[in-house]
Amino acid sequence: MSHFFEDSMFAGVTLSLVAYFIGTLLKRKFKLGIFNPLLISIIVSIIVLLVGKVDYEIYNEGAKYLSWLLTPATVCLAIPLYEQRDLLKKNYKAVLFGLFSGVLTSLCTVFVLSLMMGLSHEEYVTLLPKSITTAIGMGVSEELGGYVVITVAVIIVTGVIGNIFGELICKIFRIIEPISKGLAFGSAAHAIGTAKAIEIGEVEGAMSGLAIAVSGIMTVLFASVFANFI
């Protein structure tokens, strides 16, 4: 069976997408955050790989084409942003100060918790860029001397957590304005959070896309300062 899997270009991706689709059905039926299609798809795919003793590299032979689409898709996030340009012009202060607060909060939270848990300098700088998009975060981690592989893993986990619990967090803390919701998703959970913000609404999606770029760049600027603290 794993022989066939090795030769098949479509087995892995098809399985992941079927799991994703089942996830959307479960989500619609039970309306619970934990039935997150992305989470279900990742867990089911991992279980199948482990049970079938299939290497991730073999799975990724087919699945990498999904990842390949990420750059063009991120480029396209400028389209909803352009459609909301009047809203952006009117609220540029809220956008800039909101994202600035988010970036500082991210760096401060990582700093305080790392201090409390006695992490080493290398572990600390590995986690510093955890809230931003993978491509920028990897660069920051490498530059500061962190463990890049862990940074990537943590960034993805952060995104998935934001994707699953973002709506609940907004509800509990009464973040109601569509602009603010979008910015919150993008600054806390980068592109994976944005995927959820797009489902919530057009304004949310547009602002979340903007937040990926702005928060990423702000983090590049401030992370090197914070790196000196531990």
Say how far apart CA 160 and CA 102 lie, in whole Å: 18
Q: How far is the CB of 103 from other proteins (least distance, A)?
A: 8
* Nearest partner of 6 among 52, 66, 64, judged by Cα: 52
213 binds other proteins (CB under 8 A): yes
In the window 109-128, what residues touch other proteins (CB under 8 A)?
109-110, 113-114, 117, 119, 123, 127
In the window 138-177, what residues touch other proteins (CB under 8 A)?
139-140, 143, 147, 149-150, 152-154, 156-163, 165-166, 169-170, 173, 175-177
Q: How far is the CB of 6 from other proteins (least distance, A)?
A: 16
Nearer residue to other proteins within complex by CB, 32 or 117: 117
8 A C-beta contact, residue 140 and residue 129? yes
Longest dimension (CA), the chain: 58
8 A C-beta contact, residue 222 and residue 143? no
Q: How far is the CB of 2 from other proteins (least distance, A)?
A: 15
8 A C-beta contact, residue 130 and residue 106? yes
Residue type, 138: M
11 binds other proteins (CB under 8 A): no
One residue of 11, 35, 84, 205 binding other proteins per CB under 8 A: 205
